[in-house]
Amino acid sequence: MARHLITSAIPYINGIKHLGNLVGSQLPADLFARYQRARGNEVMFICATDEHGTPAELAAAKAGKPVAEYCAEMHEVQAKIAEGFRLSFDHFGRSSSPQNHKLTQHFAVKLAEAGLIREVTEKQMYSKADGRFLPDRYIEGTCPNCGFESARGDQCDNCTKQLDPVDLINPHSVISGSTDLEMRETKHLFLRQSAMKDRLDAWIDSQTDWPVLTTSIAKKWLHDGEGLQDRGITRDLSWGVPAQFEGAPWEGMEGKVFYVWFDAPIEYIAATEEWSDKTGGDWERWWRTDRGAEDVTYTQFMGKDNVPFHTLSFPATILGSGEPWKLVDFIKSFNYLNYDGGQFSTSRGRGVFMDQALEILPADYWRWWLLSHAPESADAEFTWENFQVSVNKDLADVLGNFVSRITKFTRSKFGEALPEGGTWGEREEALIEELTTRIRAYEAHMEEKDIRKAAGELRAIWVAGNEYLQAAAPWSVFKTDPEQAAAIARLALNLIPIYAVLSAPFIPDAAETMLDAMRTEDRSWPEDIRAALTALPAGHAFTTPEVLFRKIADEEREEWHKRFAGKRH
């Protein structure tokens, strides 16, 4: 039994995320976790809310609530939505947890002992109108690299270039909008990433199976321009992990907290410790190579904007600590999902957000479309036309139609039990050969985290059943040879639980419906398709399920298109 540690990039606490956020990290991570569990492997699937830093403070202020209260409420909201999408986290933690506070401070001490933290007195943006230093994300302006007008003080979301506030053209305060900014002196802690450059470079070079998207972004940050720079890991904020604490090897950091991008990845470890404290499990066997984690395969899922921090900053923290922590084995990164010719926009109400999606249709409809169109090799685009076609053709016409046709036919001719009689012939042997080949290909794609290819192979497996049923035509055979029609029906009915098990990582609710209809709790993976096709014997009872997937009408599609088009400027 293999052991898989799986983490999804932790979403910011400030509000409900859109479908692009979902398919960029949490959903593919859930797919992989469900698949590995189905294969009998041990899985630890961890996520959390990212609760520190500027976004939390700004969102709480806008909501008129204390930041701690706001974060607690939004964690519940995000956890409920994750449950609605059937995201099977073993634990959904909080970066504001006591475990993360303690662990973040522990890493800071270890890095200081290794000579990898230095104190820097620097000038930072101070807003006279706001009466405070402005952390990087409190400042916006035009990116000097690509001209994007809403670049933040730490990074441009358009071109992903790492920035400092002073780099921005026409900077302004996000809080007040004031442009009356000046540089003032303040002292901060810096992680000496530059001292880790060669180790990080060698480590990234050793990851020969990483996606090109992941390694190209990491290499760009390592080698473009002046190369990997030291990074400030504290900020002048009140909400976060305090930078001055008992046992800290520095003074004068009162009123400062660790930068959110320093403590947020550490929450992966801390969230596992939260799980441990809650369940009595052993978190260290997942994270410490001296406590059993040496045989763990660790996979991270994230959007491309998060790649620099997970290939450089977090590994610098792990390696620099000098302690036996588990490093990531594979980083699956994604491009962006755009919405109908543009970007998702909260402010303009443009695009579908996770809570809205669940109000319209059940989770499986969204899961299937998003995963089968995952933005792996390039940016992808959501359109209502494409969504409608995919749901209607893949889910309703192929999978749903197969289940409906064979259960209704069998019920009408033989009753609600698998019928006896008949034998297999060349057509059945050809089906077994095709399914065996396709299931092995599906497994290979899933192991490689090639999500769109896996979805395509799964659909082809559904199609094979439909084509068999159409060619075998038990409704015609029944007129002259009822026993042979029974054999066809019995084989086809046995396909339903096979489809359920194979499909469960993508569409878990439909999979449960199929298993319930066939009155079986057997979730064995179809290693031997011939044996799986006889798993339910003659006489085994079944029920005819309600419509597995309904079609999306043109009128619905048009109404949703208008509803989510957003306000035009």
Give the list of residues 6+ apart from residue 132 with CB closer than 8 angstroms, or none.
Answer: 126, 236
Cβ proximity of 413 and 478 under 8 Å: yes
Contacts of 124 (CB under 8 A, 6+ apart): 133, 134, 165, 183, 184, 186, 236
Q: Residues 388, 552: contact at Cβ < 8 Å? A: yes
d(C-alpha 348, C-alpha 345), whole Å: 5
Contact 170, 179 (CB under 8 A): yes
Do residues 380 and 502 make contact, with C-beta atoms less than 8 angstroms apart?
A: no
Angle ∠(400,405,410) on CA atoms, nearest 5:
135
> Residues near 207 by Cβ (< 8 Å), separated by ≥ 6?
215, 329, 330, 331
The answer to whether 47 is a known ligand-binding residue is no
- C-alpha distances in Å from residue 45, one per residue of 34, 38, 334: 9, 14, 19
Residue 137's closest CA among 252, 23, 232? 232
Place of tokens 């090639």: 450
Do 325 and 34 meet the contact criterion of CB atoms below 8 Å apart?
Answer: no
Q: Closest Cα partner for 512 from 545, 556, 474, 479?
A: 545
CB 136 within 8 A of CB 164: yes
346 is in an annotated binding site: yes
Please work out, in degrees rounded to the nearest 5, the angle formed at the alpha carbon of residue 308 by the alpha carbons of 304 and 312: 145
φ, ψ of residue 558 in degrees (nearest 5): -65, -40
Tell whether residue 156 is among the known ligand binding residues.
yes
Cα separation, 84 vs 101, in Å, equals 29
Distance of alpha carbon 262 from alpha carbon 265, whole angstroms: 7
Long-range contacts for 382-385 (Cβ within 8 Å, ≥24 apart)? 382/19, 382/20, 382/337, 382/338, 382/339, 382/340, 382/351, 382/352, 383/340, 383/341, 384/340, 384/557, 384/558, 384/560, 384/561, 385/557
Q: Which of 243, 266, 246 is nearest to 317 (CA)?
A: 266
Burial class (CB in 10 A: 0-12, 13-18, 19+), 400: buried
Q: What spatial distance separates the first Cα and last Cα of the chain, rounded to whole Å?
A: 56
Residue 362, by phi and psi: left (phi above 0), alpha (psi -120 to 50) or beta?
beta
- Structure tokens belonging to residue 300: 């991270």
Tokens read off for 440: 């092995």
Binding region for Zn(2+): 143, 146, 156, 159
Binding site members: 143, 146, 156, 159, 346
| Binding-site positions for ATP | 346
